[in-house]
A = this chain, B = another copy of it.
Amino acid sequence: MPSRPSPHQPRKTPQQQRSRQTRQRILDAAARVFADYGHAAGTTDRIAEAARLSVGSVYQYFPNKDSILLTLALAHIDESAATVRAALAVTATPPTLMHWLPATVAAYADLHTRDPRLHKVLFEESPRPPELLARFHQAERDAADTVEQLLRRDPSLDLPEPARNARIVVAVIESLVHRYVSQQPGDIDTRQLTDEIVDLLVAYLHAAQHARRR
C-alpha cells in the first residue's frame, strides 16, 4: 500500500484571500454555535450550517472538532492576557494600588461578562488539553510577575513576600470573576463585583504588610 497522505491535515497555508475569510467565518460561527448549544450539541454540521458552508469545507480548515474548540480557547486566553498586560502597564510613579488594581479587575471582568455562555463551554464543559492548560498557566504566571513588580515599587506597601502575595491577588481575581461568570447573570453588576474584589485585595495587602510584626 502506498503511504497515503495523512488525513486530518488542514491546509497548511491559506493561499487566497478568500480562504482566510472563510477560516474566520468558521470560527465566528463556531463561537455562536457553541455558546448556543454547548459542547456536545455543538456539532460540526451545525457549525458548517451557521458558517453557510458544507461540513467538508470546515474539515479543510480544521482537522477535527476539538481543534476548533482549542483555537477559540487559545484566542480567548491571548486576548485576556493582552488586556491584562495593558491594564497593568502603569506609567505613574510610584504605582499606587489604586492606580492599577481597579482598572485591571474591571478590564478582566468586562472581558468575561461579554459572552459567559461561550466561556463556560470553552473552559468548563469541554476537555482541556495540556496545551491549553499550559498557555493558561503561563498567562497567569506572567500576570503574577508583573503584579509582583508593581507591589514592590509601591512605597506605601512593604510586603515580606511580594511574590506569594502577587500569586494570591491573581488567583482571587481569576476565581471570583470566574464564579461570577458561571452563575446566572443578573445577580450583581460588574461594577459592584469589581468594587468587592478591590476591597478584598486592598484589605489583604495592607494586612499582609504588617504580618511580620505579629
Interface positions of A (Cβ within 8 A of B): 38, 40, 124-125, 127, 133, 168, 171-172, 174-176, 178-179, 184, 196, 199-200, 202-204, 206-208
Contacts and interface: CB of A to CB of B under 8 A. Distances in A.
B176 A172 contact: yes
A171 B208 CA distance: 21
A202 B206 CA distance: 12
A200 B176 contact: no
Nearest to A203: B207
Tell me what chain A mostly uses at the interface: helix, strand, loop, or mixed.
Answer: helix
Contact of A125 (B125, B172, B207): B125
A174 B127 CA distance: 22
Nearest to A184: B133
A172 B178 CA distance: 11
Contacts of A179: 171, 174-175, 178
A207 B210 CA distance: 13
B203 A206 contact: yes
Contacts of A196: 168
Contacts of A207: 199, 202-203, 206-207
17 contacts: A38-B127, A125-B125, A168-B200, A172-B172, A172-B176, A175-B175, A175-B176, A175-B178, A175-B179, A199-B204, A199-B208, A200-B200, A202-B207, A203-B203, A203-B206, A204-B204, A206-B207
Nearest to A124: B124
Nearest to A120: B124
A38 B172 CA distance: 27
A204 B208 CA distance: 11
A200 B211 CA distance: 12
Contact of A203 (B38, B125, B171, B204): B204
Given A171-B176, A175-B178, 6 more contacts: A168-B200, A171-B179, A174-B179, A203-B206, A203-B208, A204-B204
